[in-house]
Amino acid sequence: MQIQGSHTFQAPKPIVWQALLDPTILATALPGGEALEKVGENEYKAAMKVRVGPVQGKFDGGIELTDINELESYRMKVSGQGTPGFVNGEGDVRLEEADGATVMHYSGDVQVGGKIAGVGQRLIDSTAKSMIRQGLTALDAQIQTLAAAAAAETQATGPVAAEPVADATVSDDAGVVDPVAPAASNPATPSAPRPAPPPMPSTTQMATNVAKDVARDLASDVIPLQYQEKVLWFVLGALAMLILTWIF
């Protein structure tokens, strides 16, 4: 199965790069993800639940990043094994600056086997595309939070004022000698409060969203997307009429 696409993040490249290497952030952007733990240099252990049509189960596997070009690109190797079968894949991630934003290009090849391979290529492709969309949406929300926090800290940090030098000792006619105390330095500008991260969808919500995406995608093979809502209301109306007719 070939995977290819791009996504634009409204954030500087360093922030996007930081997020793509942060297991805590990536774990929240993994539909069905249960754990993502760093176990070595650029190596991670992952666990996630996946459902493709009638087949569902847990995958345990690993992620390895290679050919890392700082702030530019890396290659990712993924392997997973579980009750539904196995998943192996390799892909490339590349970042590109574009008018203050960052475009992430991704491409790869994934092989699946076992029970999950028996549901049909069409269903597998549709589920994979939906999971990618859900994951990128969640990752985008996290990156926006990081970008907003960085902007708030930059605005709150001003130039540091130099401390004034104490004046020489002065005497008055009464013989009192007092040094002129140095002016109190300005207190540090308080840091602006960091914006609260957006509420992240739960694993159940993500799974539900994936199921809805897949249903719409498969239905589009028979009913064009722009007519699906009308057909749904027609069906619901017909069912309501049948129920009322049966009752009365």
Q: How does pLDDT run across 164-215, given as a tens digit for each residue?
A: 444 444 444 444 444 444 444 444 444 444 445 455 555 455 555 555 554 4
Domain encompassing residue 215: 2-150+201-247
H/E stretch holding 206:
helix 203-219
pLDDT at 19 (0 to 100): 93
Confidence of residue 55 (pLDDT cuts 50, 70, 90): confident
Domain assignment of residue 122, yes or no: yes
Domain assignment of residue 101, yes or no: yes
Residues with Cβ within 8 Å of 127's Cβ and at least 6 positions away in sequence, in order, are 50, 51, 52, 53, 210, 214
CATH number at residue 136: 3.30.530.20
Of 223, 219, 48, the C-alpha closest to 126 is 219
Quick one: average pLDDT of 41-69?
87
Domain assignment of residue 192, yes or no: no
Confidence of residue 125 (pLDDT cuts 50, 70, 90): confident
Domain assignment of residue 191, yes or no: no
Helix axis angle for 225-247 and 203-219, nearest 10°, is 100
Q: Report which residue type is found at 76.
A: M
pLDDT at 244 (0 to 100): 57
In this predicted structure, the answer to whether residue 11 has a pLDDT above a threshold of 60 is yes
Q: Count structural domains, the chain.
A: 1
Quick one: average pLDDT of 80-100?
91
Quick one: average pLDDT of 2-22?
93
207-to-54, 89, 145, 154, 197 alpha-carbon distances in Å: 13, 22, 23, 38, 21
Domain assignment of residue 41, yes or no: yes
Domain assignment of residue 55, yes or no: yes
Tell me the pTM: 0.65
Of 78, 72, 71, 85, the C-alpha closest to 44 is 78
In this predicted structure, the answer to whether residue 229 has a pLDDT above a threshold of 50 is yes
